[in-house]
């Protein structure tokens, strides 16, 4: 193995660095695309950790926003569960 590497012409390592850099950039692009499609950049997600016990600790406006965000997330979850259920039914009908 060492002889093979020594037999390569000068300057070959730059190509390894270029290929590695391109692969990293492609992976980052796919990760950002996935995150954008899955609401990973939603700033309001931080409000989901609060519940009724936190009412005294929060401003009234902030607490109302937390309740609103929670309701929206519950709606999104229910819609996603319905979609998954429909997909299961479609797969089941295709198999039968």
Give CA–CA dist 66/32, Å, rounded.
26
Tokens of 15: 């190509």
* 58 secondary structure, DSSP code: S
Q: Is a pLDDT exceeding 70 seen at residue 3?
A: yes
Q: What is the pTM of this model?
A: 0.57
List alpha helices for the chain, DSSP H: 2-7, 13-37, 60-95
Average the pLDDT over each of 33-37, 60-64, 92-96 and give the range with the smallest value.
92-96
């Amino acid at each position: 193995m060492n002889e093979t590497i020594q037999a390569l012409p000068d300057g070959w390592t730059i190509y390894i660095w270029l290929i590695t850099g391109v692969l990293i950039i492609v992976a980052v692009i796919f990760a950002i695309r996935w995150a954008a499609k899955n609401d990973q950049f939603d700033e309001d997600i931080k409000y989901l950790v609060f519940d009724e016990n936190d009412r005294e600790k929060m401003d009234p406006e902030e607490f109302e926003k937390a309740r609103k965000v929670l309701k929206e997330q519950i709606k999104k979850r229910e819609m996603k569960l319905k979609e998954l259920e429909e997909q299961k039914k479609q797969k089941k009908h295709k198999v039968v």
